[in-house]
Amino acid sequence: MSDSIERFSNRVENYVKYRPGYPAEILDLFRGKMNLTEKSVIADIGSGTGISSKVFLENGNEVFGVEPNAIMREAAEKFLQEFPKFKSVSGTSEKTTLPEKSIDIIVAAQAFHWFDREKSRPEFKRILKNDGFVALIWNERRLDTNEFLRAYERILIEFGTDYEEIRHDNISVEDLNVAFQSRFSHSKYSNDQTLDFEGMKGRILSSSYMPSPEHPRFDELIKNLQMLFAEHQKNGKIQVLYDTNIFYSQF
């Protein structure tokens, strides 16, 4: 657990600047299927730097951002300082510290694959109101839509320190069945980022599995990124395509 908590500590600046957000239209799903209103209270578990919390804060919701990493938590507090309804909480998915029956909807964005699922489930049940919902959200980069994305993936596989072991798309239907223990639904939305070279570099370095500057292969990684960008850029920009996947169920 301590490794999963701390592994992003030296990635925070790039994480804040260069991780993709979430399409605003996902709120329609929450309103239509999960009873979201402006009065709903949200727990964002593994809230990181606050990217996912912002979607609900902009909707007028009170959001408890539960995050065990102090550096990421501080970044979220700065990022979301204009939203008085954001409450920053030092906690984990197994011990959120939130009051019993206080939450309408739990969301976990880019975070569920780090959770201890057996211990998290009773904690989710404890803090959720009766008939509350849990929604697991991932921005999943399209791997094979065009040659740029195929080459980008090859770089991650070649240089990633443990990329193939920890990637969140290793989550299976069986994992989701264990997490929800009831029928769950799935919705998907298109998402994208348009980045210059610094943005593309920052995006890739925001991932905990990529070499940091002191790593012996860091310079080689940057050289490969420069060649990739030069080959595929148009007017100094490249586009990274994602699918925003949401798995949700009443809990």
User: Hey, what are 32's tokens?
Assistant: 């239509």
Contacts for 143 with CB less than 8 Å, ≥ 6 apart: 149, 150, 153
Residue 93 to residue 190: CA distance in whole angstroms: 28
Q: Please tell me the distance from the alpha carbon of residue 62 to that of residue 83, in angstroms, as a whole number.
A: 9
Alpha helix segments (H runs only) across 160-196: 163-166, 173-180
Instruction: Note whether 67 and 89 are within 8 A (CB).
Output: yes
CA angle 66, 69, 72 (to 5 degrees): 85
CB atoms within 10 A of CB 73: 21
Q: Which residues contact 103 (CB under 8 A, 6 or more apart)?
A: 41, 42, 43, 64, 127, 128, 129, 132
Per-residue pLDDT for the chain (251 aa), expressed as one digit of tens each?
434 444 455 668 888 899 999 999 999 999 999 999 999 999 999 999 999 999 999 999 999 999 999 999 999 999 999 999 999 999 999 999 999 999 999 999 988 878 888 889 999 999 999 999 999 999 999 999 999 999 999 999 999 887 655 555 556 777 787 778 888 999 999 999 999 999 999 999 988 888 888 999 999 999 999 999 999 999 999 999 999 999 999 98
Query: What amino acid occupies position 124?
Result: F
**What does pTM read for this prediction?**
0.88
pLDDT tens by residue, 142-177: 999 999 999 999 999 999 887 655 555 556 777 787
Q: Hey, CA dihedral for 243, 244, 249, 251, is it positive or negative? A: positive
Predicted pLDDT at 182: 82
